[in-house]
Amino acid sequence: MPEPQKVSVVGGGSFGTTIAHVLAEGGNDVLLYVRNEDTVKEINERHKNARYFEDLTLHKGVRATSSFEKAMKHSMLVFAMVPSKAFRSVMRELAPFATAEHMIVHGTKGLERETFKTMTQLIREETCVRRVGAIAGPNLAREILAGLPAATVVGSKFDEVVARVRAVLMTPRFLVYGNRDLLGVELGGTLKNVLAIGAGIIDGGSFGANAKSLLITRGLAEMMRFGTHMGASAQTFSGLSGIGDIIATCTSPLSRNYQVGFRLGKGEALADIRKSLTQTVEGIDTTAALYRYAEKERIKINLTRGLYHLLFEDLPIADVQKMVMQPSAVYEVDSPAG
């Protein structure tokens, strides 16, 4: 067994809290940065983060702080679990305490909407840290925190980052694989959120299992087309951060993106759904960013285009169905066997 290590986690949302718990289960000394002082006190005194998991208790090895300085000094390995819309500003805040010795690995499944940049690009732009990585996969936070078996993949161009993350994060109930295709891991974890909204719409509108299978398979093809255009490896999307994450988030009501889609399928308006949300749903903004980038680059993403018109232009679901049921090509694959 690896020796216990000091590890810091930035972000006390559902996934950040869960990763901190898993790290502590592995015997590591974990310091979790949380902005809210009441939550810091609750974690340190009650071992709870009631906003997200009222019925579940955190490992006693998780301690919390509201100080970026303390979190960054605690460990040279930092997991950043921050919503994409706040990611750049958080990196700016912790930048004065970052050093070239730090490694930052994020678990944010989103893109910066205005620039279409990944979170690792933002880490490099806002801090001096160069050894970066990302984790993604079928990682529904509540299941992991409840002790159910799961796995993730850490993407990084640095073998030392992959080795360090595997050493601290892997437990008998949580497998960790490595992948040198950092961009593919980031894009897989991000783009599947769009499909999860679509899957929720299908279930909420009772469109059937065939329709969901169509969405998943052709949606995966869109992800691969888009990802390879950006420079990712197509093979990455057949792994945990691609099809693995798609299966989990397109079939489980624990997925926030799926929940939004389900409510849309039941006839609720997006504006009303957004008012009731207490957690970030990355897929909404990702749909907008992906659609605009694909239009500019002329990338075929028929399913995403239909979902964009539903979310942002109030196109009725029946009209979206007609749109996406138009084949975008004669052959299922680009190079049919001869």
SS (H, E, C) 224-260: HHHHHHHCCCHHHHHCHHHHHHHHHHHHCCCCHHHHH
Which CATH number do you get for residue 221? Answer: 1.10.1040.10
Statement to judge: residues 195 and 320 lie in one domain: yes
Alpha-carbon gap, residue 290 to 171, rounded angstroms: 35
Statement to judge: residues 196 and 98 lie in one domain: no
Alpha-carbon gap, residue 269 to 285, rounded angstroms: 16
Answer yes or no: is pLDDT of 337 > 60.
no
Tell me the Ramachandran region of residue 66: left when phi exceeds 0, alpha when psi lies from -120 to 50, beta otherwise. alpha
- Please tell me the total number of residues recorded for the chain in this structure: 338
In a domain, 311, yes or no: yes
Question: Which has the closest alpha carbon to 258: 278, 241, 282?
Answer: 282
Using the structure block, give the residue that is written with the tokens 């709870």.
Answer: 48
> Taking residues 40-68, what's their average pLDDT?
95
When pLDDT is cut at 50, 70 and 90, the band that residue 338 belongs to is very low
Domain encompassing residue 267: 184-324
Alpha-carbon gap, residue 246 to 251, rounded angstroms: 8
Lowest mean pLDDT across 185-189, 192-196, 277-281, 329-333:
329-333
pLDDT value for 1: 52
Alpha-carbon gap, residue 9 to 113, rounded angstroms: 24
Answer yes or no: is pLDDT of 336 > 60.
no
Query: What are residue 132's DSSP bridge partners?
Result: 104
Alpha-carbon gap, residue 98 to 250, rounded angstroms: 37
Domain end marker among 139, 158, 180: 180
pLDDT value for 4: 76
Domain end marker among 134, 161, 180: 180
pLDDT value for 77: 98
What confidence tens digit (pLDDT) does each residue in 158-172 have?
Answer: 999 999 999 999 999
Structurally, the chain folds into a number of domains equal to: 2
pLDDT value for 331: 78
Statement to judge: residues 109 and 69 lie in one domain: yes
When pLDDT is cut at 50, 70 and 90, the band that residue 279 belongs to is confident
Residues annotated as part of the active site: 192
Statement to judge: residues 238 and 297 lie in one domain: yes
Alpha-carbon gap, residue 332 to 70, rounded angstroms: 53
> Taking residues 79-84, what's their average pLDDT?
96
In a domain, 152, yes or no: yes
Domain end marker among 150, 180, 210: 180
Answer yes or no: is pLDDT of 334 > 70.
no
What confidence tens digit (pLDDT) does each residue in 112-121 have?
Answer: 988 999 999 9
What confidence tens digit (pLDDT) does each residue in 237-252 have?
Answer: 999 999 999 999 999 9
pLDDT value for 323: 87
In a domain, 265, yes or no: yes
Statement to judge: residues 84 and 99 lie in one domain: yes
Statement to judge: residues 134 and 282 lie in one domain: no
Answer yes or no: is pLDDT of 195 > 90.
yes
Statement to judge: residues 218 and 301 lie in one domain: yes
